Structure 1
């Protein structure tokens, strides 16, 4: 088991919060045989735990890379739980003990998250705190709703249907972490596009099945 540093500079000690890309890189670095639990992550993420935890679960679906079949559904479950907690106004994420104590090899975590680092670095060039109402206490409920809806879409077993809902979630979570309301607005637009895309895929699949078996 490993002990992660606290990746949060908003703890009253005057430090500048680390960038999201730096936090993800730090999670991927170190002994590949170390094991990381969800409780480790939540503790390490500190005051930004909701947004950072959501990012960790959404990023593997947002970066086109080979992932295990069915991983979207597996990652969708904690996203649904986190989103529901945001909607109900919880201040800190909660996981069932069996989830929180389950450990994962750092090498496996890095395999899923490392491909996202260059993309995150590009996004960070344009990110800054703005439109604070969209990322404050009331805005958190909006972000929770965005994540919940797209996590439902993400959990559907639809080929090619993961990417757009995942990016709607990533933008919302990124906006919450960096207090950037523009990203939250962008996530709303991405949610509309993702919903239309998934609906198109479902409708097309149903039409093909009717043609084959009709």
Structure 2
């Protein structure tokens, strides 16, 4: 495993989220990035940035590897439960922290999301900060948990909207933008309705096939 951290240290981390994501994608393709390195690099913003990183691949309207939603959903579930319980820093099992991934694979999953993040950044500014941190952290954890459950369900086309709800909520928390968090809440409602619709249609089709 490469000893070099995937991005600049936490005390000199880029201000923009798009810069942080780009830093994860740039470098030698055969470099390996471990979860432990991400925790060290993200520093005080680890919760929001890790939630964002694990949600981004599911937010791209393009085919991804089968089962990837469930794989990425597991750390999202763990992080959201910790946020809900009021943890100050993320905790992962030692085996998870040691696990590493090729930078080329990380870039393949994250780089397509960069144009979307850059567009969102045009509208970000600190506002309604009481909704983006502090006492609202547990509510944010509950919202991420709900959407992570929806995202992890094996429902074709069902992961995209819950993923974007998580992405918006995470960006809002990182940038202390309560308006973006509210937007994520609205998308959460749409995502839940969409997943319910897909379940209803799927069950109706199965009933017709096996009637």
Q: What is the 5 A alignment of 1:81-160?
A: 81-160=78-157
Aligned to 1:200: 197
2-structure distance, mates of 1:139, 1:72: 27
SS of equivalent to 1:161: coil
User: Does the CA-based 8 Å contact 2:9-2:40 persist in structure 1?
Assistant: no
Aligned Cα root-mean-square deviation (Å) = 1.2
Give distance in 2, aligned partners of 1:170 and 1:156.
18
- Give, in whole Å, the separation in 2 of the partners of 1:53 and 1:182: 21
1:7–1:23 Cα contact (<8 Å) kept? no
Provide the aligned length of Structure 1 versus Structure 2: 209
Q: Secondary structure at the match of 1:36?
A: strand
1:18-37 to 2 correspondences below 5 Å: 18-37=15-34
Structure 1 outlier segments of 4+, above 4 Å:
none
1:39 to 23, 33, 36: 36
Aligned to 2:50: 53
- Displacement, 1:16? 7.9
- Kindly provide the CA deviation profile for residues 100-159 of structure 1, in whole angstroms up to 9, marking residues without a partner as x: 101100000000000001110010011011111111221111110110000000000000
Aligned pair in 2 of structure 1 residues 52, 7: CA closer, same or farther (>3 Å)?
farther
Q: Tell me the TM-score normalized by structure 1.
A: 0.95
Contact 2:82 2:141 (C-alpha < 8 Å) held by counterparts = yes
- Partners of 2:9 and 2:181 lie apart in 1 by 22
- Equivalent of residue 167 in structure 1, options 131, 144, 164: 164
Distance 2:33 2:14 in 1: 22
For structure 1, list consecutive stretches of 5 or more residues without a partner in the other structure.
none
Structure 2: gaps spanning 5 or more residues = none
